[in-house]
Structure 1
Amino acid sequence: MNSAHLVDLVTRSVGRSDVLEEQALAHTVITRSYVSATRGLSRWSGVSDRIVRNIVGPTGGLSTDGFLWTKTRGVSSAIAEEREQMSIRYSSNTRTDYRSTSLKDLKPSPSGGQEALGEKEIEGMIKSNAVVSARIPERAREVLVEGLKVLATLTDMDTSTPSGKILTALDPGIDIWAEYEGEKPDYVAYPSLGRRAWSLAVACGLRDVVLSMEDIAALTGLSKRGAQALVKRMDSSYLPLVWKVRQGRSILYEIKWHSCLNDGGDYFESAVLRTEIQRKRAARDAKVQETSARRGTPAGFLAYRLSVVNPKRDEYLEANPLPADADGAWRALVEAGDELALYAHLRAQEAEAGPVPSTPEALVAPSGGAAKGSNNLSPLQAQPAREVDPEELAAMRARIGASTYA
C-alpha cells in the first residue's frame, strides 16, 4: 500500500463528519487494493452495498466527495459473460500516483510492503495541508501531526510487522468499528465503538492521546453535543478506553487507543481480531451469489418468473397463461409458486430430455420411427428428384426475363 495516500486521506477527512462512509471505503481501497466488486468492497469496508453504489461515481469519474476514481462501475447481468465487477482506486491529491493505487505502481520495500515515506516528504505533506495549519485547536493539531507521522510509516497488512499490527487494528471492517441498527446481534461479542470512533482513532494514529471535548469535536467534525455522545459511547464500552484527566479547571480525556488495541494489550484479541459481522455478511453474500447463479440459467429464470418471489408474477401469468391441457403436476407447482420446487421440476425435465445434440442431423427423425443407425431415409430424402422438361424450363426462363425487363 501507499502510505502517502493514507496520509492524504486523513488530512482531507479531518473535521468532516459527512464523509465517514467514503473515508472507510477509501481506506479499504488503499490498504487492500486487491478488493473489487460491490459486495466485496462492502464486506471489507463495513459499508453497505447500497451506500457503496451511491458513493462510487460513473466509469472514469470521481466519487461523491472525490476520494475515489472509478476504473469500472460494473454491470449486473444474469449472463456470466456480461457481468462486470466494480473496480475503484483512490484519487489522491499527492503529486505522485494521483489517480490509482495499482499494485504495479508500488515500490516494494524489504519487508514486503510499500516503501515508507521519508521525513522530508512527511513534513511537506503536513505543512502543505490547510487543515493542519488552521481551523483546529493547537492541541488537536499536535495530536494530528503525530498521528500522520505514524500513518506515514505504515506500509503493509502483515500482522507480523508493527505496521501490519496497527493497520489490522484500524481496519474499518472489524467488529469494533461496525455500525448496526437496533440491538446488538447475538453473534457480536461486545458493543462496537462505531464509525466515528474509528475516524478519530485513524486521525490519532492509534496512539494514546489527551484531548479536550473541543479537540475531539474539531478532529471529527461533530458538534459539542455530538462529541459528548461519542465520548460517552466509548466510555460505556467494555474497553477501559477513556479516562478523565483534570488539568487546572479544565477536564481532558485520555484515550488509550494503543494501550487497549495494540497487539500486547489485554483486549487486543477480543477487540481487534473479531470479524463475526464480516463473516455473516460474507455468508449472506454467498447465498445471494448462489441465487443469482441459479436464476441466470433458463430453468432458474423461468422458475423465478413463475414464483411468488417475483413481484410481477401476476402480470407475467396474465400475459402468458397456462394452456388448458397443461400437465396437472406442473399446474399445481405454478399455483404454489415455490421457486425451488419449480426449478427442481424443470431441471428434472432437462435431465430426462438429455443433452442438446451438437449437430442438427441428430434432430432429423427417420420416417416410421426407425432406430438410430438404420439406412432408412427421412420423408424428404426418400422423395426422388423430379425431371423437368427442357422446353418447360425454357418457357419459365422467358417469362422471368420478360417480367424483369418490362
Structure 2
Amino acid sequence: MATRSVGRSEVSIELALSWTTETRPYVSATRGLGRWAGMHDQAVREAVAQDGQVSQYGFIWTRTRGRSSATVEEREDMEIRFRSNTRTGHRSTSPKNLSTPLGQGALGDLALKEGGKELLEGNAVTSARIGERAQEVLAKGMETLSKLTELNRATGYGQILTMLDPGLDLWAEIHGETPKNVAVEPLGRRAWHLALLCGLEDAVLSVADIEALLGLSKRGAQALLARMAKANPLLVEKVRQGRNFAYEIRWAQCYRRDGDWYVDACDRDEIRRARAAKDRVIQETSARRGTGAGYIAYLHGTANPKRAEYLAAHPLPEDADGAWRALVEAGDELELYAYLKAQEAEAGPVPSTPKVLVEEAKGSAISTPLLGQPAQESLEAPKRIDPEVLAAMRARICASTYA
C-alpha cells in the first residue's frame, strides 16, 4: 500500500480505507468504515466503486456497497477489501486473524532489494522520481512496515501499527467544532500518510522530498510542516545541511513508547466517539421516519423543509382533533410521533389475518341492521331463480326491442 501511494496525494482516502480493512478485517458498513478510517461516510461512498468493481485508484475491491431498502442496515451494508497489486483479477488479501503474521503479499511485501537500499525497477516509487535522501527514508520505513504483523501494544512493532490507525485523534481531519476532550491537536491525514511512508521512524527531509513523497506542491508541503510544528512543537525542527535547510521529523521520539518525548495517542479517539454518537442519532432518526407514524410526524413537523407546501396541499379537516391540530401548529416532530404512537397503542395491534375483521363486520351487520332495510342474506347460499321466470323476462326484453 505504501509504495503504491508514493507521490500520489489523491489516493489518501483509498489508502486509509484499505489500511483499515487490512488491519481490522471485522470492520464493515458505511458508517463503521468511515469512523475507523477517520472520515465522513459520504467520502466512503464516493471512494468505493459499485458491487464487484475496483475503485478509481485501484486500492479497493467492492464486494457489496448496500442496496435500496427501507431498512437502515441494508442500505448501509458495505464490505470492501484491499486489492493487491497483481494482474490476476480482483484479489483480496484481507487476513482473518491478525494474531498470526500477515506474510508476503500483505503488509510485508517490501519490493526492496540489496538490503532495502534500492527499490525494484518499474515500481511506483521509481516513477515518482524521488531523491536519494527520500529513498533512504522510504526504504527504512518499508523495512519497518514489513515487521508489523499484529495489533498488540505490548510489543514495539504492535504499538507502531496501533499508532498508525487512521481513525485516531492524532490523524483526524476536523470539520466544525472540536470535541472538548481532545488532548492532542490533530495533524491531519497528510501527516498520517507521511508517517506511514516513514514507518513512524525519525527522518530528515527537505521540502522537495516531502513534495515528491506525498505528491504535494511546494506550498502544500510547507503548509503541512507548519501545521505539524504548530500541533506539536517537538515534532519538527529546522536543521541546516550545507547550504540548504531540511527538517528533522521526530516520529519515533514523539509517538513511540521508547521515544524521549513520547505522547500516548493510541487510546485517544474522542473524535471517533463523537462521530459515532452523531451517526447513532442519524440512524435512530432514519429508523423512526421509516415507520408510518414517524413519516407522518416528519411531514407535519418543522424538520420537513417542504412542510408549508405539504400543509397547503393537505390541509387539516375542519373536524380534526384539537390536540392533533395544536401539535401540528407547534411542529415538534418527536411530540407528533409520540401522539401517533399513543393512538396506535390505544387502537391495539393489527390482526395477523383479515379473518378477524371479516367476522367482526358480519357480527355488527347482523346485530345492528340499518333501519328500513332488511338484514343482508348470506352470500354462502345464493337464491335459485326459476327458469320459467327467466324465459318470461327474456320474452319481454325481445318484444320491447323489436316493437
**TM-score over 0.5 for the alignment?**
yes
1:4-403 pair list within 5 angstroms: 9-75=1-67, 77-79=69-71, 83=75, 85-94=77-86, 98-103=90-95, 111-115=99-103, 122-123=111-112, 126-134=119-127, 135-181=129-175, 184-238=178-232, 240-265=234-259, 268=262, 270-363=264-357, 364-365=360-361, 366-367=363-364, 381=378, 386-392=383-389
CA contact (8 A) 1:132 1:145 kept: no
CA contact (8 A) 1:15 1:219 kept: yes
Distance 1:41 1:81 in 2: 14
Kindly provide the amino acid, as one letter, of the partner of residue 288 in structure 2: R
CA contact (8 A) 2:254 2:263 kept: no
Instruction: Give the secondary-structure state (helix, strand or coil) at the position aligned to 1:112.
Output: coil
- Quickly say closer, same or farther: Cα 1:73–1:232, change in 2 above 3 A: same
- Quickly say closer, same or farther: Cα 1:80–1:394, change in 2 above 3 A: farther
Instruction: Give the secondary-structure state (helix, strand or coil) at the position aligned to 2:310.
Output: helix
Distance 1:113 1:392 in 2: 95
- Quickly say closer, same or farther: Cα 1:335–1:28, change in 2 above 3 A: same
Distance 1:81 1:219 in 2: 39
- Structure holding more helix per residue: 1
Distance 1:51 1:361 in 2: 50
How many angstroms does 1:44 deviate by? 0.8
CA contact (8 A) 2:254 2:261 kept: yes
Instruction: Give the secondary-structure state (helix, strand or coil) at the position aligned to 1:245.
Output: strand
How many angstroms does 1:169 deviate by? 0.7
TM-score (norm 2): 0.83
Deviation per residue, 1:63-106 (Å, 9 max, x gap): 23222222212235434586351222222213678532344xx6
Unaligned runs of 5+ in 1: 1-8, 372-377, 399-406
- Number of aligned residues: 381
CA contact (8 A) 1:76 1:84 kept: no
How many angstroms does 1:42 deviate by? 1.1
How many angstroms does 1:393 deviate by? 6.7
- Quickly say closer, same or farther: Cα 1:182–1:384, change in 2 above 3 A: closer
How many angstroms does 1:120 deviate by? 8.6
Deviation per residue, 1:151-178 (Å, 9 max, x gap): 1222232333444311111111101111
Deviation per residue, 1:228-272 (Å, 9 max, x gap): 222222222235212333333333322121121113446655433
Aligned twin of 2:401: none
- Which segment is superposed worse, 70-79 or 194-203? 70-79
Kindly provide the amino acid, as one letter, of the partner of residue 35 in structure 2: R
CA contact (8 A) 1:259 1:265 kept: yes
Aligned twin of 1:404: none
Instruction: Give the secondary-structure state (helix, strand or coil) at the position aligned to 1:156.
Output: coil
Instruction: Give the secondary-structure state (helix, strand or coil) at the position aligned to 2:350.
Output: coil
CA contact (8 A) 2:327 2:336 kept: yes
How many angstroms does 1:184 deviate by? 4.5
Distance 2:339 2:101 in 1: 53
CA contact (8 A) 1:239 1:260 kept: no
- Which segment is superposed worse, 84-93 or 45-54? 84-93
Kindly provide the amino acid, as one letter, of the partner of residue 237 in structure 1: A
- Which segment is superposed worse, 358-367 or 215-224? 358-367
- Which segment is superposed worse, 121-130 or 220-229? 121-130
How many angstroms does 1:291 deviate by? 0.7
Kindly provide the amino acid, as one letter, of the partner of residue 190 in structure 2: R
Instruction: Give the secondary-structure state (helix, strand or coil) at the position aligned to 2:277.
Output: helix
Distance 1:120 1:66 in 2: 17
Residue identity over aligned pairs, in percent, reads 56
How many angstroms does 1:47 deviate by? 1.6
CA contact (8 A) 1:175 1:192 kept: yes
Deviation per residue, 1:311-365 (Å, 9 max, x gap): 2223322332222211111112122221101100100000000011223232123
Unaligned runs of 5+ in 2: 369-374, 396-403
Distance 1:49 1:112 in 2: 31
Distance 1:66 1:146 in 2: 25
- Which segment is superposed worse, 183-192 or 334-343? 183-192
RMSD value over aligned CA atoms? 3.3
How many angstroms does 1:292 deviate by? 1.0
Kindly provide the amino acid, as one letter, of the partner of residue 386 in structure 1: K
- Which segment is superposed worse, 203-212 or 355-364? 355-364
Instruction: Give the secondary-structure state (helix, strand or coil) at the position aligned to 2:81.
Output: strand
Aligned twin of 1:403: none
TM-score (norm 1): 0.83
Distance 2:36 2:285 in 1: 22
Distance 1:322 1:278 in 2: 44
- Quickly say closer, same or farther: Cα 1:140–1:360, change in 2 above 3 A: same
Instruction: Give the secondary-structure state (helix, strand or coil) at the position aligned to 2:2.
Output: helix
